[in-house]
Chains A and B, each alone.
Chain A
Amino acid sequence: MILDLHAHSIKSDDGRAKVQNYCQWIKTRNIPIDGFVLTEHRQFDNESDYSDLAAKHGITILKGSEVETEYGHVLVFGVTQALQEAFDFTNIHLALADVIAACNAHGAVAVPCHPGRKRVGMAAHLEEHGVPSGVNIVEVFNGGSRGEEDQVAQEMANEQNYLGIGGSDAHIVSHIGRCATKFEDTIHNEQELVDALKAGRFEAIKLQQEAS
């Protein structure tokens, strides 16, 4: 099963894509993914229910978040009400250690994203802050990467023995599915996604070599 683990909708401040148009795009263009995870910036979207849309199109639509720490941006999968009460998702100065501790306490997974990117990626902060403990997975393929950013991410993952996921980081409709993650398991919900990530049964894949 292939999921794009990093996408934004109009719920994010810089997102311009409506979720129904992501679905329409995937089907019309035969994008070879089975679903995607909406990782809205600095929030968890408690309001939206995409189950009817998912059923209509036969696409798995899950929800996560993208929060901000001193090591850059971090995807969070398996968000629960208890996790939302454990730290302030809107805080742009979160401590990565606190995010990881909260995720571990509440059955979620934290994954630093676009780690090869300047300023908002983890690799840029290793010299200042050191290698953080508790990171097991990083995003090695990001659809918005420029230049050598994915290479930097991959090299850091190799050096630190991290597993790698892929996500498009789509903010507009036509960018969904540029990168994704291939799972051995079939995933129906956020809990199964967390289980598969913790089990390490996945690999990052690039579905488009060049941005459209």
Chain B
Amino acid sequence: MSVNTIADVEFGVELPSISPDTSLANVKRFVVAAGWDSPRFTDHDAAREQGLPGALVPGIMSQGFLSAMIHHWAPAAEVKLVDTVFRAPCIVDEQYNINGVVTDVDEDTGEVEIDLTVTNEAGENRVFGTAKVLIPLG
């Protein structure tokens, strides 16, 4: 269900999860556009030589996926804050799910807080955090 106004939002509701494209080609496109082009994001072997488990999905790309999930759920939402804690790296070419759930609703102001997680196929949280968004009052 797409959310249009604050009246559509309920505490505890889960946002539709998305599985983003974390392929090497897509990450390459992102880091070039972001001005972050570096082998640690685009070359598994070069990343391993730096002691990393593989090429990394940049943190700002993960935050972008989280924001995209929010806008997919509520196209008119104004994302005020995406506050993330990176607990473990997200590796390029591995599968992740982007998840959100509503954990606070202020019906007077339209402000909604959303718990955010990026989980791998094992269900482990690699990234967690919260978002504050404004939903139109209607």
Main secondary structure of the interface of A (DSSP, over half): loop
State how many angstroms separate the Cβ of B24 from the closest Cβ of chain A.
Answer: 24
Interface residues of A toward B: which range?
Answer: 20 to 34
| Contact of A25 with B by CB under 8 A | yes
Q: Which of A14, A21, A25, A28 contacts B85 (CB 8 A)?
A: A14
Q: Is B134 an interface residue, CB under 8 A from the partner?
A: no
Q: Nearest chain-B residue to A17 (Cβ)?
A: B103
Residues of B120-137 at the interface with A, using a CB-CB cut-off of 8 Å, are: 122-125, 128-130
A172 CB–B CB distance under 8 Å: yes
Inter-chain contact B85/A171, CB cutoff 8 Å: yes
A24 at the interface (CB under 8 A from B): yes
* Interchain CB contact under 8 A, A173 and B115: yes
Q: Are B12 and A28 in contact, with the CB atoms below 8 A?
A: yes
List the interface of chain B (C-beta within 8 A of A). 11-12, 83, 85, 87-88, 99, 101, 103-104, 113, 115-117, 119, 122-125, 128-130
Known: A174-B101, A174-B103. A16 touches B129 (CB 8 A): yes
Residues from chain B with a CB closer than 8 A to the CB of A173 are 103-104, 115
The answer to whether B99 touches A212 (Cβ under 8 A) is: yes
Contacts of A144 in B (CB 8 A): 87, 125
Chain A contacts for B117, CB-based, 8 A: 172, 211-212
Q: Is A57 an interface residue (CB 8 A)?
A: no
Cβ B115 vs Cβ A211 within 8 A: no
Min C-beta distance of A172 to chain B, whole Å: 4
